[in-house]
Structures are given as structure tokens and as C-alpha cells.
Amino acid sequence: MKPELPKVEVEKNLFDSLFEILEKNQKQAKKQFRKHHKRALKWLKNQGLDPAKLQTQIAKYITTGTVTAVIMGASALPIAAASVPQISNQAQEQTSLVEKNDLFFKLRQTLDHWGQVPNQADENLIAKTIGELTNLPVTNILTGHRLNRTIGIMGLEQHLLRYPGDTIYDQMKSREDQKYLESGIAPHPGAWGYFAQNKNQLTPDLTEKEKYYVVIQTFMIPGWNSNWGSMKDWYKFRKVLVYNPQNGKGVVGAIADAGPAPWTGKHFGGSPEIMDSLGFYNTSTKGEVVILFVDDPEGKIPLGPIDSQSYYLIAQGGEK
């Protein structure tokens, strides 16, 4: 008899499918699971998890309401435990972990349903879920503006010229930066021109904007051609969160160039530092990301890899 499922906020039929595999191990059950949960199955495999091997762990924790924590706990997510959480008296702390894991799994399921067709309800849910996971004020629509898409493939870009005469060696002076030398520097400025008119006008803020720059297909945003003048100013250096839904890594960047071309098969571009922050730089030159606006009118949230606790304090007016 199938055990009663825990009341966690995840898609019920996914666990139904999972238990079919665990209890009956039927080919048909596996086929149905692969058909309806392709993205979830891909995520499980990327984390080194085999549904058929989770039976013992799930059976152990099925009465505690921590099934999601069992599945997610073995992952390398920064929001998850390094191993399966143990039952203890620290109920509040464990609940918090389970809630975070449920949120991430809920995100994966929403993306699974998304497919290739934009859906406003799913897009809103994705923004809300990532905001809760990162403690950042993110949104898919900001003051009536939106990107041409929220989910897509991001590719590695070269560094941009910050001022006339800038070189990759001027940018990569520290030992830490030198690992990005191989990415090179683009021969022309980005869509918004140089970051500064000359080297003396280059500020630390502009340096960070180039370091963590994001490329968006602005030319594909509805109304761009007819409202190019005003929209270009609004999108220039607009702050966004780039989130990797495969590993939970995120980075705050600034829009500083337009592209890539549709025929490339890529929808966004990111500087070497952006790609490295997402876990793509040493493993691939592209990967799936979610991009959302950061609602930060006072400029309190700095660019760079996210630290949810620190960013939460900053958003509340505290210090990092």
C-alpha cells in the first residue's frame, strides 16, 4: 500500500510518479516520469541523484514531512544542507531548511511547466519564488518595463572597452582577474558606448558595471523601435539578477550591451565574471538562466555574486 504523501508545497503527481518507480520499478512508470518531469529528472541527475536509489532515505523520512529535504539535501545548493538532514529537536531550523528546499523544487516544477511558451502566471510565480529564495527585491516587470524574455540561454561574452584605449591587460591586473585573460576584449564599445570618456573618468562604480555586465536582446523588446530614445536610457546599466536554476547560484549584474543575435541560439550574454559566478565559466560557455529586474531605486544592492543573508540586511537598510 502506498504510504501517505507528506503535505509539502510541491507538485503532488511528481511524488506519485516517484513512488511508482520506487515501489513497482515498472518501465511504464519510468516512462511516464520522464515524459512529465523532464526538467526535474535532469536536475536530479545533475545532482548525482537516482530516484531508484532514494527509496531507503524516503522511507525513513516519509512520516516526518521532510521528503523534499531528503531529495534536495544531497545537492550542492548553497541553500541546502550538505547531507540529508537528521531528525532533531531543532524543529524551527529544520523547517526553515525544508521550506527553502521546497521553494527551490517548486521553482524547478514551474520551469518544467513553462516549456517554450511564455506564460504570465508562471513568470510571476518564478519571480516571486526566486525573490523568496534570494531575499532580493526582484520582479519580471518594473515600472511597466520588461525584458523580451525571462528564461533563456546565456552565453559567455568578452570584456568591453571601458574607455578609448582600454586593453584587457589594463582590466586584468590582479592575480584573481588574470584567469579571465583568455576571454579577451571586444574590439568595439557596447551598445551604450564607452563607460567613461577617458581613463581618468573611470570610477569604481563604472568598473563594477563592466565587470558584471549583462547582454540583453533589447532590440526584441516590444515597442523598442518606436520608443528607442527613452527606452534606451531606461535600460542603460539597469540592475538585474541572473539566476542559475540548476544550482541556485545567482549574481547581480548591469545591462551594458545589446545582443546576442537570434540566429546564435542564445538569448542573453554575460561577462566572464557573470558566467563564473553562475558556475558556467569552467564547465561550459553557455547555460540556462532566469533574469529578473532588481527593484533597487536607492542603489543599496551592489553588483556581484549574491549572498542572500547579506543582501537581505542591505535591502532592510543595514550594513553588509
pLDDT band at 202 (very low <50, low <70, confident <90, very high): very high
The least confident of 40-44, 167-171, 224-228, 287-291 is 40-44
pLDDT bucket at 196, cuts 50 / 70 / 90:
very high
Q: What phi, psi does 256 have (nearest 5°)? A: -140, 5
Q: What's the whole-number mean pLDDT along residues 236-244? A: 97
Instruction: Tell me what the mean pLDDT of segment 84-109 comes to.
Output: 60
Q: Give Cα 85 to chain centroid, integer Å.
A: 25
30 or 105, which is more confident: 105
Q: Which residues contact 83 (CB under 8 A, 6 or more apart)?
A: 73, 74
pLDDT of residue 164: 98
Which pLDDT score is estimated for 84?
33
How confident is the model over 56-70, as pLDDT tens digits? 444 444 434 444 444
Q: Which amino acid is at 228?
A: W
pLDDT of 113 strictly over 90: no
At residue 316 the predicted structure's pLDDT band, cuts being 50, 70 and 90, is very low
Do residues 159 and 210 touch, judged by C-beta distance below 8 A?
yes
Could you give the domains of the chain? 12-114 (no CATH), 137-315 (2.40.40.10)
What CA–CA distance (Å, rounded) separates 35 from 187?
46
pLDDT at 49: 64
Band (pLDDT 50/70/90 cuts) for residue 2 is very low
On the question of pLDDT at 40 being above 50, the answer is yes
pLDDT band of 28, cuts 50, 70, 90: low
Percentage of residues of the chain with pLDDT beyond 90: 51
Q: CA neighbours within 13 Å on the CB side: how many for 198?
A: 1
Q: What is the pLDDT of residues 245-268, one digit of tens each?
A: 988 899 999 999 999 999 999 999
Contacts of 5 (CB under 8 A, 6+ apart): 12, 15, 16, 19, 67
The DSSP code for 263 is G
- How do residues 6-25 score in pLDDT, each as one tens digit? 444 444 455 555 555 555 55
What is the pLDDT averaged over residues 262-281?
95
- Residues shown for the chain: 320
**Looking at residues 139-165, what average pLDDT do you find?**
95
The phi, psi pair for 123, rounded to 5°, reads: -60, -40
Kindly indicate the confidence band of residue 102, based on its pLDDT and cuts at 50, 70 and 90.
confident
What is the rounded distance in angstroms from the CA atom of residue 29 to the CA atom of residue 72?
A: 22
Contact by Cβ (8 Å): 61, 70:
yes
Helix (H, G, I), strand (E, B) or coil at 103: helix
Whether pLDDT at 208 is above 90: yes
The larger pLDDT score, comparing residue 178 to residue 213, is at 213
Burial 264-280 (b: 16+ CB within 10 A, else e): eebbbbbbbbbbbbbbb
